[in-house]
Structure formats: structure tokens, C-alpha cells
Structure 1
Amino acid sequence: MGPIDHVHGFGACESRNPSQCLTGHGRARYHQSVRSIGALLGKPACSNASTSAGGKLAGPGGCSTMEQKNMLNLYFHATPNSMKVAVLLEELELPFDLSPVDIFKGEQHAPEFRAVNPNGKVPAMVDGDVTIFDSHAILLYLAEKHGKFLPSELKNKAVMLSWLQFVATGLSPFSGQAIHFLHYAPEDIAYAKNRYVKEAERHYSVLDHRLAQARYLAGDEYTIADMALWGWAASAGYVFGQKGLGDYPNVMRFMDEVTKRPAVQRALDIKAKHTFKAELDTETRRAMFPQNETVAA
């Protein structure tokens, strides 16, 4: 895979791996090798995952007593959903450990990871004696725990929750299915591609209208709903191709502003430091879509 170019900041993505389309302006960078999740869980490697973290960090299986500095451990692949959580952790300036999970290699199916998330999906997080999975569950948990990026007034909180769930139940699954049928499906199914791309377009139109009325989804206050939107909108070029978000100027304005935030840049730096498998080969298809193996058989 070559570098990924973006048009107008959030435009076309040349990669077949959607995780590589998650970046702000310019090119995505991959420099650091990643040990498998099995190796990490068996013999943990401690490395600094966050610019806000100090000292030595623990791997997912835990390190020596002297190395266990942070209660938070994020299980991560550079997907839209994982990046939402990385942004919030950086916004909160929390020290955390990061355990890469290479979903193209099938590491999400390892028994050790399934003990953290029985659904075998990233992100997942361990916070001391708390284990939590699903990106929006993690966003809500962290925002509630730390009392930040969540409106205090019930009326404003209702607005924020509405848009947070709009991303969770609408933009996210329709974008994901559009990506699947555009780039991963073994058959070219015109109906499926049209349905999911059109639904993604419809959701972005709703978002564009909202952001024409307000600076952020919940109004004037930057919240976890905005982080959730950023996670998926940063990969819009993988759905819409060369035009990217060009049809949605208010979403573009929003994305330009949010991407410039120092915490978002730090989250992008975390992504850039980790190399994940990019080839869409038999191993990847088996790992990502195991249900299709039964159909093929």
C-alpha cells in the first residue's frame, strides 16, 4: 500500500484498508512494527502509547509491578471506532496503555481478547477493575467518569445523546456497509452498493444541515458526539471517492476545525506510529468475514 492522499483534507482514499483512510490533512504514516495480540498477551511489551502518558506502560497482559503505571488500557486498531476513543483519551489528557489488535490478521478472535470483548471487536478498554467495549459505550463511560465533554443540563444532554446515537445507529453502520460492498464484497452487487452509499449520503446531508445551524452537533459545546462524527467522517473518501466531503461544506468546516485540535493531532500521531496489515488476502477475508467461509464451503 502506498501513501494515502486526501482531497480537501477529507477526500479520496487510495487504500483498500479503511483504517488507513483515517487521517487529517496530508499523508498517513506507518513506521512502528506491532507485535501480535497473542504475543502481547502472553509476554506483554510495554511502550508509550500516548503523549500524555508518562513513564513505562503496560501491555494488555500486564507488566511487572514497577512498569504498571496506568489503569487504562485501550485495545486498538486504526479504525473509525477506535480513533474516536483515542481522541477522547487525548482530550482528557489521561495516561493510557495501548494494545494493538491487528484485525486483518484475526487477532480479534484470540481467546485472550475475547475475554475482554466477547464480540471480538475493537475498541475495548480496561480501566482498573472495569472492562468495557463498544466505542460509544466507552465514550459515555469516560465522559461520565471525568465529567467532561458531556453537557451538564439535561436538555442539552438530550441533544447531544440524539446526535451521538445518530452516528451510532445511522452514519456508522451505513458507512461500514457501504465500505464493505464497495471494497470487500466478493461479488459486485449494484443494489447493495447503491443502497448503502445513498444512505450514507442521506446521513451526511442531515449532518450538514445541522452543522449549518450550530458550530458542533450539540450546539456551541464540543462533546463526545463530535468525536464520534469525526471518527467516521475522517474516512468519508473511502465511501465517496475523489469528491470526499465536497458535497457537505458544513461538515467540511467542522472537520477542518476539529482536526486542528491538539488532542486530535495526538490521536493521529498514535495511529501513525502503528503498522497494521493492509493486504486483503485470504487470511484477511477469513479473519474479517468468517461467516463467508461457511457459505463458501
Structure 2
Amino acid sequence: MYTVIGTVGSRTLRVLWMLEELGLEYEHVQAAPRSEDVVAINPAGKVPVLIVEGTPITDSTAILTYLADAHGRFTHRAGTLERARQDSLTQFLLDEFDSNLWTAARHSFILPEELRLSGIKESLRWEFERSQRTLIRRMGGGDFVMGGEMTVPDILLGHCLEWAVMAKFPIISESLTAYHQRMRARPAFKRAVARREASGSQDAGS
């Protein structure tokens, strides 16, 4: 059984969602970023952390990729062109969506108040809108990022769109809005989010 460490209001939600999609048993330990319990496992103090046979795996994307590869679902086989495209989309979402929203969060409530730059959020919103237009051109024609099959990038994009709504970053495309609603309607996503609502936490990065 896996152990997931981290608050549900962080990127830990991605890992919980993946585990629910896979139908795997796991233990969830609520621990805040940079708390003593987290730093003891991950010196960077970041969550999530996945414990596998006593070994910690850090970084939400690394964890998602490990789980998908280990269980042969939500991923394409390494060494294929489909996997190359999947990995490319994963990196695009991290560079253009995740990092943008994370920077906005840092300048909203994470950094010390004297270091926050409120004006930066306008440029971040502009970049976020531009990135959406690029993503729409790259997405497949089905219900998911790559077309007809759900893969790791869908977990990342679904969670980033949740962040965007909370940060009041507009989702400018009807197709992305519809995609977001499909992801939110998935039973596995609802089960993962229920843990967040039960804990009373809010999304705050890692």
C-alpha cells in the first residue's frame, strides 16, 4: 500500500486523484509543506511525497509518471512516439500553466508581504490566456488532452484549471471549460476532492 504525504489543498491532490483513478489502496497523511514531518522526508520541505516500500518519491509529476508506468495505465509506453508527445505536453503544462499559476500564488499569499509584486499578476494572466490558445491547437480531438485516452497530462491540466478558477484567471475557451467540467465530473476526482473539503484546506501549491 502506498503512503501519500501532503495537504489536499496542494499538488498532493494530483496524486490522490491518480491513485483513485487507478483504484489503489493508500494511506494519506495530512502534513503541511515545510513542516518537520515533511522536511524529515524531503529536505526541500515540499509536498506531495509518495512512500513506496520505504522509499520517498518527491515532485507530483514524477509521482504521477511513476504510478502510471508501474501500473500500465494513463500513459503510453516509453520509447514510442505517443510517449514523446505525452511527455512534451506534460512539460508544456508545467512550463506554461503550472509555473504561471504558482508564481501568481506566490505573489498573492505565499511570499512575505514586502516581497509580493501585485502588478505581476496582470502579465501572468496575459501569458495564461496565450498559453490556452496554444494548448487548444495541440490537443487531440477527443475528450482528453491527447484525444480519446486519459493520460498523465490530463491530471496536470485538470488540477491547473482548478487553480485557475480559484485564482480568478479566466478560462477563455468554451472547449477548455467543457473539458474542465468533464474532469471535475469524474468519480475519482470527486473522491480526491472530498478529502480536501473534509480537511477544510485550500489550494496553496507546495
TM-score grouping bracket, smaller chain normalisation? 0.7 to 0.9
Query: Within 1, Cα distance between the matches of 2:162 and 2:173?
Result: 13
Are residues 1:189 and 2:117 paired? yes
| Equivalent residue letter for 2:11 | N
Aligned CA-pair RMSD: 2.4
Which residue is 1:240 aligned to?
168
Q: Secondary structure, in 3 states, of the residue corresponding to 2:50?
A: strand
Partners of 2:101 and 2:163 within 8 A in 1:
no
Q: CA deviation at 1:91?
A: 0.5
The structure 2 residue matched to 1:206, chosen from 109, 134, 138, is 134
Equivalent pairs, count: 201
Q: Secondary structure, in 3 states, of the residue corresponding to 1:150?
A: coil
Are residues 1:157 and 2:87 paired? no
Change (3 A) 1:229 1:171: same
Matches within 5 A, 1:197-276: 197-211=125-139, 213-240=141-168, 244-245=170-171, 247-276=172-201
Deviates further, 82-91 or 187-196: 187-196
Which residue is 1:168 aligned to?
94
TM-score, scaled to structure 2: 0.86
Q: CA deviation at 1:141?
A: 0.7
The structure 1 residue matched to 2:67, chosen from 106, 120, 142, is 142
What does the per-residue CA deviation read over 1:195-246, in whole Å, with 9 as the maximum and x for residues that have no partner? 32222222222223334744322222101110111111112123335xx42x
TM-score, scaled to structure 1: 0.61
**Which aligned runs of 4 or more in structure 1 are off by greater than 6 angstroms?**
none
Q: Secondary structure, in 3 states, of the residue corresponding to 1:236?
A: helix
Partners of 1:178 and 1:200 within 8 A in 2:
no
Partners of 2:9 and 2:201 within 8 A in 1:
no
Structure whose CA Rg is larger = 1
What 5-or-longer segments of structure 2 have no aligned partner?
none
Query: Within 2, Cα distance between the matches of 1:238 and 1:269?
Result: 17
Partners of 1:102 and 1:277 within 8 A in 2:
no
| Equivalent residue letter for 2:135 | L
What does the per-residue CA deviation read over 1:66-101, in whole Å, with 9 as the maximum and x for residues that have no partner? xxxxx3110121235211111100001111000101
Q: Secondary structure, in 3 states, of the residue corresponding to 1:235?
A: helix
- Richer in helix (by share): 2
Q: CA deviation at 1:184?
A: 5.0
Are residues 1:76 and 2:6 paired? yes
Change (3 A) 1:183 1:199: farther
Which residue is 2:106 aligned to?
180
